[in-house]
Amino acid sequence: MSGHILGVQGEAAAYKFIKDAGMRPLAKNYKKRSGEIDIIARDKDAIVFIEVKTRSRDSFGSPEAAVTRFKQRSIVRTALIYLKENKLLSAKIRFDVIAISGENVKHIKNAFDATELL
């Protein structure tokens, strides 16, 4: 299976996972010059920016290990644009990772902190 197809399937599984967890999706594949955010959702009083990483197996490391500091910085910059565009700069925010490996889905809340990346 190609990496693109695996990624699309992983994002669909993550989208269903967050809806089942009671989160309300706000945007999917939000793209700006600074980068892309796979899913943006509301979880109670927080806006959550979610990076989805999918692997068919862990032979090249865990999916969450692929969310490098460079990728985190890109997500934070893109999240700031989203917040500005939607007049949400005072909102409580969180950065999560949904790691999918085979049939296992792992939701890592507060996977990284924006303040140490800017």
Instruction: Compute the average pLDDT of residues 2-22.
Output: 85
Residue 25, pLDDT score: 97
pLDDT > 70 in the chain, percent: 92
Strands (E), 33-116: 35-43, 46-55, 92-101, 104-108
List of domains in the chain: 3-113 (3.40.1350.10)
What is the chain's Cα-based Rg? Answer: 14
Q: Is the pLDDT of residue 1 over 80?
A: no
CB atoms within 10 A of CB 38: 21
| Predicted confidence (pLDDT) per residue in 51-92, tens digit | 999 887 666 778 888 899 999 999 999 999 999 999 999 999
- 118 confidence band (pLDDT: 50, 70, 90): low
Task: Return d(Cα 17, Cα 29) in angstroms, integer.
Answer: 16
